[in-house]
Amino acid sequence: MPAVPPDPLHRLDDPEYPALTMSQAAELLGVQAAFLRSLDTSGVLQPHRSPGGHRRYSRRQLGLAARVRVLLDDGHPLASAEVIVGLQDELASARADLDELRAQPEGVDGKP
């Protein structure tokens, strides 16, 4: 029986897959391409580069850009927005770790 070839469209479900061009990403976010270039230049976002050098963005990167845009719109400078987003991510990760620890069954002596 021949093997079934993998579905190439499954990559679109991957939040890390760089499927969007700069113009598509900018349109989805409602920003100018210059905003995305500034995030790349500052190191906040490192888009994938196509063989021709064109930027390609993943869904995860668009989410990050949108979060930074909200903070900039609220008056934060880019450096502060980057730190805030990083701290938000660290807090979310710590909370997920804590939830996981709390979900583990207790030992015989009542300790995890």
CA 15 – CA 112 distance, rounded (Å): 34
Cβ proximity of 38 and 82 under 8 Å: no
Q: How far is CA 46 from CA 21, 55, 67, in A?
A: 13, 9, 15
Amino acid 8: pLDDT: 72
| pLDDT block averages, 10 residues each, the chain of length 112 | 70 80 95 95 92 93 96 96 95 94 75 56
Amino acid 25: pLDDT: 96
Protein fold of 17-103: Multidrug-efflux Transporter Regulator; Chain: A; Domain 2 (1.10.1660)
